[in-house]
């Protein structure tokens, strides 16, 4: 092979590679697109609406400006007070598992940055989200208002007790780990409603578990291993 041919072959090989890599100078849009292709579709997320919403949601606006260049990497990021915004793949997996309909009303325990709530708000009618850390609750509420969400309500409090006045819910998403499903949440779930929770007693790994309520009883399905920050408050008194 001549040097010239070799050079062209190498050039071709290198021009194919970068399509799947993000570079420091890339725009947020390009990084987000790569995240959807590589980390969501590439790992088995199929729900078109979930992919579409996460392909538009500006995750970089839910983290500190200093973390902007990491906002579309597939891992959790710190959001203050020792808490994290979940990994995009896990957000997609949980959202997809809930099989949401546009008419649904959804409860979230663990508002954190507000990112998961915003993803839900694009897919359903109303989102009710509860955060036990006041600073995070206020920050998320302001952020969601600034982004123009009118169908998300944020409450500061212990999500263990749910949101009785607004119940029952079509779906409940719990984004902090616990060793049991809080009974008030089971009560506030509609029949045929879906609830998803990282269930387990260790701080390192839990089993993402989907519960479907059938005639008052829960059918449980284990999905995969995950690592969430622990639920605090009432849940800790019930060990
Ligand atoms: N869903 C969030 C990430 C959640 S991190 C996002 O999209 O960014 C888990 C959050 O659950 C933390 O903010 C933590 O403060 C909160 N949390 C822990 N225990 C809670 C409880 N009992 N009630 C409500 N929120 C709780």
Residue 36 reports pLDDT greater than 80? yes
Asked if the structure places residue 229 within a domain, the reply is yes
Asked if the structure places residue 9 within a domain, the reply is no
Say which residues have a Cβ less than 8 Å from residue 48's Cβ, sequence separation at least 6: none
Helix/strand/coil percentages in the chain, nearest 5: 40, 25, 30
Asked if the structure places residue 33 within a domain, the reply is yes
Active site residue 113: no
Query: Of all atoms in ligand 1, which is nearest to the CA of residue 108?
Result: 1
Span 32-37, average pLDDT: 97
Asked if the structure places residue 11 within a domain, the reply is no
Residue 33 reports pLDDT greater than 80? yes
Total domains in the fold of the chain: 1
pLDDT tens-place string over residues 100-130: 999 999 999 999 999 999 999 999 999 999 9
For residue 234, what are the CA distances in angstroms to 39, 64, 136, 238, 239? 35, 30, 19, 7, 10
Model confidence, pTM: 0.91
CA of 3 to the centre of ligand 1 (A): 59
- Ligand 1 proximity of 129 Cβ (cutoff 6 Å): no
The residue whose two tokens read 């409940």 is: 172
CA atoms within 13 A on the CB side of 155: 17
Q: Compare 166 and 9 and report the one with higher pLDDT.
A: 166
Asked if the structure places residue 7 within a domain, the reply is no
Cβ atoms of residues 34 and 20 within 8 Å: yes
Q: How far apart are CA 116 and CA 53, in angstroms?
A: 11
Residue 230 reports pLDDT greater than 60? yes
Asked if the structure places residue 183 within a domain, the reply is yes
- Ligand 1 proximity of 127 Cβ (cutoff 6 Å): no
Q: How far apart are CA 124 and CA 103, in angstroms?
A: 6
Residue 238 reports pLDDT greater than 90? no
pLDDT mean across residues, the chain:
93
Determine the pLDDT at residue 203. 78
- Ligand 1 proximity of 85 Cβ (cutoff 6 Å): yes
Asked if the structure places residue 125 within a domain, the reply is yes
Determine the pLDDT at residue 225. 96
Q: What is the 3-state secondary structure (H, E, C) of 188-217?
A: CEEEEEEEEEEECCCCCCEEEEEEEEECCE
Confidence of residue 24 (pLDDT cuts 50, 70, 90): low
CA of 37 to the centre of ligand 1 (A): 28
Give the domain range for residue 213: 18-238
Asked if the structure places residue 54 within a domain, the reply is yes
Cβ atoms of residues 59 and 40 within 8 Å: no
Span 90-94, average pLDDT: 98
- Specify the CATH number for the domain of residue 160: 3.40.50.150
């Amino acid at each position: 092979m001549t040097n010239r041919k070799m050079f062209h072959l190498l050039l071709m090989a290198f021009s194919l590679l970068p399509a799947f890599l993000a570079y420091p100078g890339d725009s947020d849009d390009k990084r987000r697109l790569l995240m959807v292709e590589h980390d969501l579709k590439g790992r088995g997320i199929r729900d078109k609406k979930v992919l579409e919403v996460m392909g538009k949601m500006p995750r970089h606006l839910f983290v500190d400006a200093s973390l902007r260049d990491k906002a579309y990497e597939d891992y959790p990021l710190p959001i203050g007070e020792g808490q994290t915004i979940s990994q995009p793949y896990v957000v997609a997996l949980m959202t997809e598992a809930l099989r949401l309909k546009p008419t649904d009303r959804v409860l979230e325990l663990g508002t954190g940055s507000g990112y998961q709530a915003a993803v839900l708000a694009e897919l359903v009618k109303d989102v009710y989200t509860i955060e036990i850390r006041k600073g995070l609750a206020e920050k998320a509420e302001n952020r969601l208002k600034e982004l123009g969400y009118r169908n998300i309500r944020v409450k500061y409090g212990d999500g263990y007790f749910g949101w009785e006045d607004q119940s029952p819910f079509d779906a409940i998403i719990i984004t902090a780990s616990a060793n049991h499903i809080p009974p008030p949440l089971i009560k506030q779930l509609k029949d045929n409603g879906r609830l998803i929770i990282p269930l387990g007693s260790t701080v390192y790994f839990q089993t993402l578990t989907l519960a479907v309520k059938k005639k008052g009883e829960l059918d449980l399905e284990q999905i995969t291993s995950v690592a969430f920050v622990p639920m605090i408050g009432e849940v800790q008194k019930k060990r």
